[in-house]
Amino acid sequence: MDKATGWIWLVAAGLLAGLPGLAQTVNNQSLKGPYYFRQVSLGTDGINPGNLTDPRTLTGTITFDGSGHFSFTGQQLTGTTTAVPQTGSGAYSVDSGGFVVMDSPVRSGAKINARFGPEALIGSSTESSDNTFDLFAAIPAPASGATFAGPYTAVSLEFPGGSTANMRASQFTLNQSATGSLQPITVTGHAANISRGQPQSLIVSGATYTLGADGSGTLALGTAANAQLLSGTRTLYLSASGNVLLGGSNVAGGHDILLAVKGISGATNATWNNSFFGAGLRLDATSVLAYSGSLAARGQQKVTWSKRMKALGSSAFDFTGINGYALNPDGTGTVDLTSIALGASGKAFVGAAISQADPGAYEIYFGVQVPARSGTGIFLDPLGVTSAASFAPSGNPIAPGEFIALFGSGLANSPQTARVPYPTNLNGVTVSINGKLAPLYFVSPGQINAIVPYSTTGPTATIVVQNGTNSNTVTVPVAATAPGVFTADQSGSGIGAMRHTDATATIIDAGHPAAPGETIQIYLTGMGAVNPAVADGTAGTITTLYQTISDVVVLVAGQPATVLFKGLAPGFPGLYQFNVTLPTFLGSTGTLPLAIQTLNAYHDQVDVPIH
């Protein structure tokens, strides 16, 4: 349990060090002025993902007043009817990290769990209790002088006629050949009614566009035909920066969304290196789901997602996972089974599910760089509270008893490490979580490691660091569990911190792999309350078994392992231990994914070597 090192810690510290010296966070005033927006909301019967009973799409202009209120005007599609004018108003709230709660323009009473960045406002109504699943995107509208200057790499998700029968997802590039005309468009995608969803390619010739000085216009892709991957006419909007396009159809039943980012050149895998907010919408044969979240890309061919997800037939839950990626020089590429395009000078990305290995999946997602944060004096980064094991991006909740890390500046005068039991005052520094002092393991000017008090309850908690004076207040989500498996290299991904239980008790690694049917130990944090209860800052013991109250499933390559013990490990506060027997028949060997599932979370960031 050394203080955290590894590439994510170094990057986080680098991000803070690179920020300007003046205080800089966001609030309601940061979200102000006119934005173009589109919201696609799929109402289902709650049982069958293929049965869309109440699809709605709204597009137009939404204006934020900088004081927590907005108004909008636009065109709304419902079911298969033609678009009708729609106006309305609502409220919104922006916290210091860019997390936004706003009224849904398309469904009264619903709240959008949104994220605000310089390039866009994006989100989904993940906390609504109905059987609807949506994606909301809004881009700042230009005041004047908008110019189409491609190339733009676009993705599109469509549900023609408000049905899944002809649903489709595609990726393509828009580039002008002359003002108002587009070069031939190569489209890659798939549709439910074409070749059973297998990926196809199409050339669209003769496409045209219009664009006014205010950034609004149209995109004409030929006569609409469900036999074509991409066709018809769409309303088109260009962002104030010129980096993002947003659009969709306004014809009867035209439930779709188009998102595009300005192309880049000379990209390598190292180009994708920043922190982003993201949101997406997905429908496949087994489920419909929507999500808002965060993504960390560190230029090393893997991205870490933290998502708040809403899925058909279940309540909202928290997901963290690792995906591998590969980029081409133009910023296009793949992220596991999806096609990706990084653009806008690395400030935004779009993606769609297009893969021979996943022909039944229709998904679109959009990500934008997070806002800059800095402060004077004692400053706690609003996006700098994370699991000390998984390093999941901002938005993943904290849990009672979890070992967490806090980043900022001026947090302590000098480094100091505590011994067990951890004190609540270390080197003159305290951390309060919901008003209760947290046990501290490590303090330094830029980083603190602490234990979340077991009494912490949600849905949110406020965190304040005190080092002579108080820091700014940061609000984070709270959940019963937030599992995060420690890793051997302290990066949050790769081979998990695991041990053989035989007489050697060696650490599991590539040179000492586990075997099918073997019983191993897994070390993690974030598993919440235990029974019997234990005092904050104290560790488990060999003589007393402190077992987690929450149920847990451990999956290896998708197969359930047998959990023999789940509770606190002896010796280290905040450290939990699972004793599990691996599945006997895994079907393959090598480095296999290991996931932890609880009633409110799914953690899928580590691997276990199997021989």
Per-residue pLDDT band for 458 (boundaries 50, 70, 90) equals confident
Claim to verify: residue 404 and residue 464 sit in the same structural domain: yes
Do the beta carbons of residue 563 and residue 552 sit within 8 Å? yes
User: What pLDDT digit, counting tens, does each position of 246-293 carry?
Assistant: 999 999 999 999 999 999 999 999 999 999 999 999 999 999 999 999
Q: Is residue 34 part of a domain?
A: no
- Half-sphere exposure at residue 325, Cβ-oriented, CA atoms within 13 angstroms: 33
**Domain boundaries, position 434:** 7-20+376-477
Claim to verify: residue 381 and residue 495 sit in the same structural domain: no
State the pLDDT at residue 353.
98
Q: Which residues pair with 62 in a beta bridge?
A: 35, 72
Claim to verify: residue 495 and residue 459 sit in the same structural domain: no
Per-residue pLDDT band for 23 (boundaries 50, 70, 90) equals low
Q: Which residue has tokens 């390619």?
A: 201
CATH number for the domain spanning 545: value is 2.60.40
> Strands, DSSP E only, in 301-456?
302-311, 317-327, 332-335, 338-343, 348-353, 362-369, 379-387, 403-409, 416-417, 430-433, 436-437, 440-443, 447-451
Percent of the chain at pLDDT exceeding 70: 96
Claim to verify: residue 456 and residue 518 sit in the same structural domain: no
Which stretches within 476-534 are classed as H helix? none
Rounded Cα–Cα distance for residues 539 and 123 (Å): 39
Pairing verdict, β 317-327 and 601-610: parallel
274 φ, ψ to 5°? -170, 180
Q: Which of 424, 443, 477 is the last residue of a domain?
A: 477
Measure Cα distances from 230 to 73, 178, 180, 223, 402 in Å.
28, 21, 19, 10, 48
Residue 441 has pLDDT above 80, yes or no: yes
Claim to verify: residue 570 and residue 606 sit in the same structural domain: yes
Nearby residues of 584 by Cβ (< 8 Å), 6 or more positions away? 516, 517
Q: Is residue 592 part of a domain?
A: yes
Q: How many CB atoms within 10 Å of residue 48? A: 12
Claim to verify: residue 467 and residue 497 sit in the same structural domain: no
Distance of CA 501 to the CA centre of its chain: 36
Rounded Cα–Cα distance for residues 598 and 301 (Å): 28
Q: Is residue 232 part of a domain?
A: yes
CATH number for the domain spanning 437: value is 2.60.40.10
Residue 332 has pLDDT above 50, yes or no: yes
Claim to verify: residue 585 and residue 530 sit in the same structural domain: yes
Give burial (CB, 10 Å; 0-12/13-18/19+) of 50: middle
Torsion of CA 379, 383, 387, 392, to 10 degrees: -160
Q: What percent of the chain is helix, strand and coil (3-state, nearest 5)?
A: 5, 50, 45
469 φ, ψ to 5°? -135, 170
Region 468-486: mean pLDDT is 97
Claim to verify: residue 449 and residue 465 sit in the same structural domain: yes
> For the chain, what is the largest distance between any 2 Cα atoms, rounded to a whole number of angstroms?
78
pTM for this one?
A: 0.95
Residue-wise DSSP of 66-131: SSSEEEEEEEEEETTSPPEEEEEEEEEEE-TTSEEEEE-SSSTT-EEEEEE-SS-EEEE-TT--SS
Structure tokens at 76: 């709304």
Do the beta carbons of residue 221 and residue 230 sit within 8 Å? yes
State the pLDDT at residue 21.
36
Per-residue pLDDT band for 9 (boundaries 50, 70, 90) equals very low
- Best CA proximity match to 605, nearest among 241, 226, 319: 319
Q: Is residue 297 part of a domain?
A: no
Q: Which of 229, 262, 295 is the last residue of a domain?
A: 262
Q: Is residue 192 part of a domain?
A: yes
Q: Is residue 122 part of a domain?
A: no
Region 427-435: mean pLDDT is 98
Rounded Cα–Cα distance for residues 93 and 363 (Å): 28
Claim to verify: residue 181 and residue 198 sit in the same structural domain: yes
> Strands, DSSP E only, in 358-473?
362-369, 379-387, 403-409, 416-417, 430-433, 436-437, 440-443, 447-451, 460-467, 469-470
Measure Cα distances from 126 to 11, 131, 132 in Å.
29, 11, 9
- Best CA proximity match to 164, nearest among 249, 43, 269: 43
Claim to verify: residue 469 and residue 527 sit in the same structural domain: no
CATH number for the domain spanning 234: value is 2.40.128
User: What pLDDT digit, counting tens, does each position of 222-235 carry?
Assistant: 999 999 999 999 99
Measure Cα distances from 471 to 251, 431, 432, 467 in Å.
52, 10, 11, 8
Torsion of CA 169, 174, 180, 182, to 10 degrees: -100
User: What pLDDT digit, counting tens, does each position of 36-95 carry?
Assistant: 999 999 999 999 999 999 999 999 999 999 999 999 999 999 999 999 999 999 999 999
Claim to verify: residue 159 and residue 255 sit in the same structural domain: yes
Rounded Cα–Cα distance for residues 220 and 195 (Å): 25
- Best CA proximity match to 247, nearest among 74, 44, 34, 71: 74
Rounded Cα–Cα distance for residues 293 and 601 (Å): 14
Counting the structural domains of the chain, the total is 3
Q: Which of 212, 246, 262 is the last residue of a domain?
A: 262
User: What pLDDT digit, counting tens, does each position of 174-222 carry?
Assistant: 999 999 999 999 999 999 999 999 999 999 999 999 999 999 999 999 9
Structure tokens at 96: 């210091």
User: What pLDDT digit, counting tens, does each position of 94-150 carry?
Assistant: 999 999 999 999 999 999 999 999 999 999 999 999 999 999 999 999 999 999 999
3-class SS at 484? strand
Q: Which residue has tokens 């004018």?
A: 85
Q: Is residue 14 part of a domain?
A: yes
Q: Is residue 162 part of a domain?
A: yes
Rounded Cα–Cα distance for residues 65 and 28 (Å): 9
Do the beta carbons of residue 522 and residue 547 sit within 8 Å? no
Structure tokens at 250: 């306004």
Claim to verify: residue 491 and residue 456 sit in the same structural domain: no
